[in-house]
Amino acid sequence: MSDQFQDLQLCAPTLEDVKQAAERLKNVINPTPLLENREVNATLSGRLLLKVEGLQRTGAFKFRGAYNRIYQMTAGEKKQGVVTYSSGNHAQGVALAARLLGTHALIVMPDDVPQAKMDATRNLGADIETFDRNTQNNEDVVARIQRETKRIHVPPGADCRVMAGGGTIAYELFHQAQDAKAQIDTVLVPCGSGGLTAATAVIMNTLSPASDVFAVEPELFDDTRRSLLAGERVANPKGRKTICDAIMTPIPNELTFSISKPLLAGGLTVSDDEVRNAMLFAFERFKIVVEPGAAVGLAAVLSGKTEIKNKVVAVILTGANVDSTAYCAALNAARLATRALQVHFEPEGPV
């Protein structure tokens, strides 16, 4: 274990770190709602609470952590600029935070990221350098840029200040649930780099230790679930694809996994078809847009991967940044699958 990681490991976010981050973000972020639908609850025989971070600035939760990190940079560091890796949401969060706080962002992005996410990132003032996620390592690309430019790295998750910013979601969620007189049994978190998962696990373990926190991943990118079972970090095979581009990660981050490992109740996985169904459900029943990677927790509930009957299940919907064409295609595919299932089970004659 490197000396650098040992230092970072000592910096897992605390409740106090998250409270301080919440104070910094108070007049900067959009307050995001905790939605509940009585008819949905009746159908599920439990209480489903949706924390809608797609209504956050830049359309995803990532702005919280990026702002909290960059806010704490020195004037000299801001002159040097920042660099990060992202498939889209963290990129936009860093780009906006950098612009608001007087610095400049360079984003390392996979070359297969949807064009809409690249365009949105550039529109916020950032520059982009692309790489091939199947042949290159994003950490190596970021490290090279750091050496060449002296920019400050603002990672998607593996930084105490970034995690503390993300942890404000769980902090808000806990208090919003209290206001709704809901004692949370389960929290489901979409898991990519693992920063939000780790921060949520810390905050819920502190404020509501009876609540189980699960990492949720696409079934072909279940590195965190398999790592939890193995007791050590396990990588995903290369060359796989999923519609959940925001959480396509190669291996759990060393820091965030070390925080999550003793605190998580486990890991859950869902298929792309189950994600499409969840996106359609969110649109039809809650009237909200959810991007594929953000819908995995809701997909886990709807597909029965976690128990909701007579329970309170909170789902963090992490973002809404999805290309309109891809979004419509996902919803139409889910509708067709539902109709095909209905036809398949339709009685052939009078009963």
- Domain final position from 133, 153, 173: 153
Rounded Cα distance between 71 and 66, Å, is 8
Q: Is the same domain home to 312 and 210?
A: yes
Q: Which residue numbers in the chain have pLDDT < 70?
A: 1-10, 341-351
Q: Is 264 helix (H, G, I), strand (E, B) or coil?
A: coil
Q: Is the same domain home to 175 and 279?
A: yes
Q: Is the same domain home to 183 and 238?
A: yes
Q: Is the same domain home to 318 and 253?
A: yes
Q: Is the same domain home to 236 and 255?
A: yes
Q: What are phi and psi of 127, to 5 degrees?
A: -100, 155
pLDDT at 112: 86
* Number of separate domains in the chain: 2
Q: Is the same domain home to 118 and 212?
A: no
Q: For the chain, what is the HEC assignment? A: CCHHHHHHHCCCCCHHHHHHHHHHHCCCCCCCCEECCHHHHHHHCCEEEEEEHHHCHHHECHHHHHHHHHHCCCHHHHHHCEEEECCCHHHHHHHHHHHHCCCCEEEEEECCCCHHHHHHHHHCCCEEEEECCCCCCHHHHHHHHHHHHCCEECCCCCCHHHHHHHHHHHHHHHHHHHHCCCCCCEEEEECCCCHHHHHHHHHHHHHCCCCEEEEEEECCCCHHHHHHHHCCCCCCCCCCCCCCHHHCCCCCCHHHHHHHCCCCCEEEEECHHHHHHHHHHHHHHHCCCCCHHHHHHHHHHHCCCCCCCCCEEEEEECECCCCHHHHHHHHHHHHHHHHHHHHHCCCCCCC
Residue 37 lies in a domain: yes
pLDDT at 11: 81
pLDDT at 276: 98
Rounded Cα distance between 152 and 131, Å, is 19
pLDDT at 288: 98
Residue 293 lies in a domain: yes
Q: Is the same domain home to 308 and 326?
A: yes
Residue 252 lies in a domain: yes
Q: Is the same domain home to 188 and 71?
A: no
Answer whether 91's CB lies under 8 Å from 68's CB: no
Residue 222 lies in a domain: yes
Residue 342 lies in a domain: no
pTM of the model: 0.91
Residue 345 lies in a domain: no
Q: Is 186 helix (H, G, I), strand (E, B) or coil?
A: strand
Q: Is the same domain home to 54 and 135?
A: no
Q: Is the same domain home to 181 and 298?
A: yes
Q: What CATH number did the domain enclosing 262 receive? A: 3.40.50.1100
- Domain final position from 153, 171, 189: 153
Residue 350 lies in a domain: no
Q: Is the same domain home to 331 and 214?
A: yes
pLDDT at 138: 85
Q: Is the same domain home to 49 and 196?
A: yes
- For residue 300, the enclosing domain spans 3-60+160-337
pLDDT at 7: 47
- Domain final position from 153, 188, 216: 153
